[in-house]
Structure 1
Amino acid sequence: MQICVFLSAADLDDRYTAPAREFAKLIGAGGHTLVWGGSETGLMKVVADGVRASGGRLVGVSVEFMRSVARADADELVIAPDLATRKALLLARVDAIVVLPGGLGTLDEVTEILELRKHGLHAKPVVLLNIAGFYDGLSLQLRRMDGEGFLPVPLDDLLFVAPDGAAALAYLEGQCSS
């Protein structure tokens, strides 16, 4: 399975890095490929290192203005001209999407992916990996949107919120094998 992971390029503390590292090990040990933003910094580096150390393959999809922080030893590195193209390339290359803690870029990515799924433009499973309760607020807002009729598709059809990496991967394996 080719798994896109949206996440931060910032250096974060162990509350975020330890669970992210564990999830990365599961990806690699499962023989899966990580498709990510290609950065050699922050949480992106932690996950790429964990996947690589566990025998997984790395496909980076970076963007021209971030070329200087792209991971040189990725099995494949694609440089997109802009962020919109980068997101389209990431989605086109994968079987599933997992969202780890991140900032505005990650929020942009997950909302676009959910919007595209809502309109039936892709049917790839999307998982929020809720490390340290990071996505509690977003989950609450999405549930409110769903409950008050703002989503034409039930939220549970768009997104799975996983408490840990094992639950996220188990969900994806169930979704992608059927």
Structure 2
Amino acid sequence: MNICVFLSAADLDERYTRPAREFAELLGRGGHTLVWGGSDAGLMKVVADGVEEAGGRLVGVSVEFLSHKARPGLDAMVVAKDLSERKALLLEKADAVVVMVGGMGTLDEATEILELKKHGHHTKPVVLLNAAGFYDGLKEQMRRMDAEGFLPIPLTELVFFAEDGVSALAYLEESAGLR
């Protein structure tokens, strides 16, 4: 399965890097392919290292102005002309999406993917990996949106909140009929 992961390229605390590394190792051991921003920095590097060391494949989708941060030696690398094209290519190449901790770029990617799913433009499973409670506030806001009628589909059909990598991958594999 090709699993797109949206995440930060920043160097982060162990409470975020440890769960990311654990998920990456599960991905690699499961024979899955990481589809991600292609960066060799910060949390992106941690995840790519984990997937590669555990036997998984790496497919990067960078953007022209960040291509100087691209990881060398990937199984495949695409360079998009802008962020909009990059997001479209990431989704196109993925069978499923996982959102890890990140900043504004990660949040932008997550909300666009969820908005597209909400409107039926894709049916791929989406997981928010809630490492160290990072997405607790967003989870609460989304529950409120669901309860107050702002979502045309139930929140449980839109996104799965996972507290750890094991439950995230189990959900994705079950959604794909691999379990």
| Distance in 1 between residues matched to 2:20 and 2:147, nearest whole Å | 31
Cα distance in 1, alignment partners of residues 96 and 150 from structure 2: 25
Aligned to 2:133: 133
* Alignment match, 1:106: 106
Q: How many residues align?
A: 178
Q: Counterpart of 1:28?
A: 28
Q: Specify the alignment match of 2:49 in structure 1.
A: 49
**Cα displacement (A) at 1:77:** 0.7
Hey, what's the Cα distance between the residues in 2 that align with 1:172 and 1:74?
A: 24
Give the superposed CA RMSD: 0.7
Q: CA deviation at 1:87?
A: 0.3
1:177 and 1:66 map into 2 onto residues whose CA distance is 36
SS at match of 2:79: strand
Q: Is 1:151 matched with 2:131? A: no
**Distance between the aligned counterparts of 1:166 and 1:2, measured in 2?**
17
TM-score, scaled relative to structure 1: 0.99
Separation of aligned partners in 1, 2:51 and 2:160: 22
User: Which secondary structure state, in structure 2, belongs to the residue aligned with residue 177 of structure 1?
Assistant: coil
User: Secondary structure of the equivalent of 2:3?
Assistant: strand
Structure 2 gaps of 5+ residues are none
Paired with 1:145 and 1:135, the residues of 2 have a C-alpha distance of 15
Partner secondary structure for residue 97 of structure 1? strand
**1:7 maps to which residue?**
7
Task: Indicate the residue corresponding to 2:87 in structure 1.
Answer: 87
- Measure the CA separation in 1 of the matches of 2:136 and 2:6: 17
Partner SS, residue 161 of structure 2: strand
- Residues 30-52 of structure 1: CA distance to partner in whole angstroms, max 9, x if unpaired? 00000000000000000000000
Give, in whole Å, the separation in 2 of the partners of 1:24 and 1:152: 33
**Pairwise CA distance, 1:72:** 1.0
> Within the alignment, does 1:97 sit opposite 2:97 as a pair?
yes
Question: Kindly, what percent of the aligned residue pairs are identical?
Answer: 70
